[in-house]
Structure 1
Amino acid sequence: MTISPAEERICVGAIAGSFGVRGEVRLKSYCANPEDIETYSPLTTEDGSQSFPVVLTRVVKNGFAAHLGGVETKEEADALRGVLLFAPRDRLPALPDDEFYYSDLIGLEVLDTGGTLLGRVKDVQNHGAGDLLELQPPGQSATVLLPFTRAHVPTVDLDAGRIIADPPEGLL
C-alpha cells in the first residue's frame, strides 16, 4: 500500500490494554499536549484497517482511560494492547521551524560538517533525557545514538532529505 503525502499518517498514541470491564482502554498519548489526541479522532491502526473514534474519559496513571468506537468489552480492549494509533498528518498542527515529527527524520541521510556520509536515521528515541537519533552507519550492522541537540545537529533540511551533524568526539 503506497501512502501519498496527502494521506500520510503520524503515530499519536498507543493502546496499553483494557481499563475496567466496560470496554475502555488505557491510552498512551505521544502528543505534545497529551489530551490533544482526542481532537485528532478518528484514529487508525498502522495498516489503516481499523478506525476508532476516541473519547477520553479520565486521566489515569501514564495516560488516559478512553472509549474507542466499536470496542465494547474488556476482551476486545485487551486484544488491542500494543496497537499504535495514527492520525492523518493534515489534522495535526504545523510545527515551528526548529521542531520535527519523528517520522520526518527517519530515513534522512546524515552528513558530517565536511560532507562525509555518517549514515541514515533508522529511528528517533527518547528515554527521558532528550531525543536521540539512531544512525545506521553505511556498511555496519550496529547503530549509533546521536544526541538530537542544536550543538550536535545544527541543520535539518527536510527538503533536501539530509541532516548535517557535528557528533561528539569519539562517537563514530
Structure 2
Amino acid sequence: MEWFNVGKIVNTHGIWGEVRVISTTDFADERYEVGSELGLFKADGSKPIIVKVASHRKHKNFDLLTFEGYALLKDVEVFRDAVLKVSEKYLSDLEDNEFYYHEIIGCSVESLEGEVIGTVTEIIQTGANDVWAVQPVKGKTHYIPYIEDVVKTVDIESKKITIDALDGLLS
C-alpha cells in the first residue's frame, strides 16, 4: 500500500490530546474529517500507527487534531515530529488541470522549444497560485508559477511538464 503526506505533527496543544499539524495538503477538510483514517509515521521509522480523527479545528496557521483513543497530552506527546499520511485508497479523483503533489514532484520540466530546464523538487503554496521549485542539473533553482500563461502541458504518465519560459522567468 502506498502512502502520501498530508501533514507533520509539530507539537501538542493544550492538555487534552490535541496535536498541532502543519498541513501539506490542499484537502485539509477532507483529510481531517472526523472518522478519517490516517497513517502516523513516527520519526524512529517504526511501523505506522493507524489513527482515526476524533476532532479537527483550525488555529492560526495550524490544523489541530485529536485522535480516537488518545485523549490526554501524555498519549500524544510521543507523536511529535511524526508525519501524517493518507492511504492511496482514500485519494479522490481531481478536476482537470488539478494534480496531487506526489504526481508533480519528480517531473521533468522543459521549454516549448524542448530545452530541459530541470526537475520539480518542491511545491510552494503562495495563496494566489502554487509555485513549483525546479532544480536544473547545474545552477540555482527556478521558481515556476502554476498559471495558464506559463504551464502549457502536464503529462503525469510520462512525468513531463512543458512550460512557456517567459522573459525573465529562468534568470
The alpha-carbon deviation at position 128 of structure 1 amounts to 2.5
Question: What are the ranges of 5 or more consecutive residues in structure 1 without an aligned counterpart?
Answer: 1-6
Q: What CA deviation, in whole Å up to 9, does each residue of 1:37-84 have, x standing for no partner? A: 234732113565232221115443334432224534424434433432
Match of 1:165 in 2: 163
Select between 50-59 and 146-155 the one with higher mean Cα deviation.
50-59
Q: Distance in 1 between matches of 2:52 and 2:135?
A: 37
Q: 1:31 to 1:118 in 2, by over 3 A?
A: closer
CA contact (8 A) 1:13 1:37 kept: no
Q: In the superposition, relative to structure 1, how do residues 134 and 29 fare at CA in structure 2: closer, same or farther (>3 Å)?
A: closer
Q: Number of paired residues?
A: 165
Identical aligned residues as a percent: 29
Please say if residues 32 and 56 of structure 2, whose CA atoms lie closer than 8 Å, have aligned partners that are also in contact: no
Q: Which residue of the partner structure matches residue 39 of structure 2? A: 44
Deviations 1:127-166 (A, max 9, x none): 33321110011233x2111111111111001112100011
Mapping 1:38-117, distance limit 5 Å: 38-39=32-33, 41-46=36-41, 49-56=48-55, 58-69=57-68, 71-117=70-116
How far apart in 1 are the matches of 2:12 and 2:134? 35
TM-score normalised by length of structure 1:
0.81
Distance 1:122 1:64, change over 3 A: closer
> Which residue of structure 1 aligns with residue 28 of structure 2?
34
Preserved CA contact (<8 Å) 1:56 1:64: no
Q: CA deviation at 1:118?
A: 0.6
Q: Is the 8 A contact 2:131 2:144 kept in 1?
A: yes
Residue ranges of structure 2 left out of the alignment (5+ in a row): none
**Preserved CA contact (<8 Å) 1:29 1:35:** no
1:86: how far off?
0.6
- Aligned partners of 1:29, 1:137: CA distance in 2, in Å? 27
Distance across 2 between alignment mates of 1:105 and 1:16: 25
Q: Secondary structure at the residue paired with 1:44?
A: strand
User: Secondary structure at the residue paired with 2:32?
Assistant: helix
Determine if contact 1:43/1:87 at 8 Å carries over to the other structure: yes
**TM-score under structure 2 normalisation?**
0.81
Say if 1:32 and 1:164 are closer, same or farther in 2 by CA, change over 3 A: same
Relative to structure 2, which stretch is displaced further, 100-109 or 70-79?
70-79
Superposition RMSD on alpha carbons, in Å?
Answer: 2.4
- Give 1:169 shift: 1.0
Structure 2: distance between partners of 1:80 and 1:66: 12
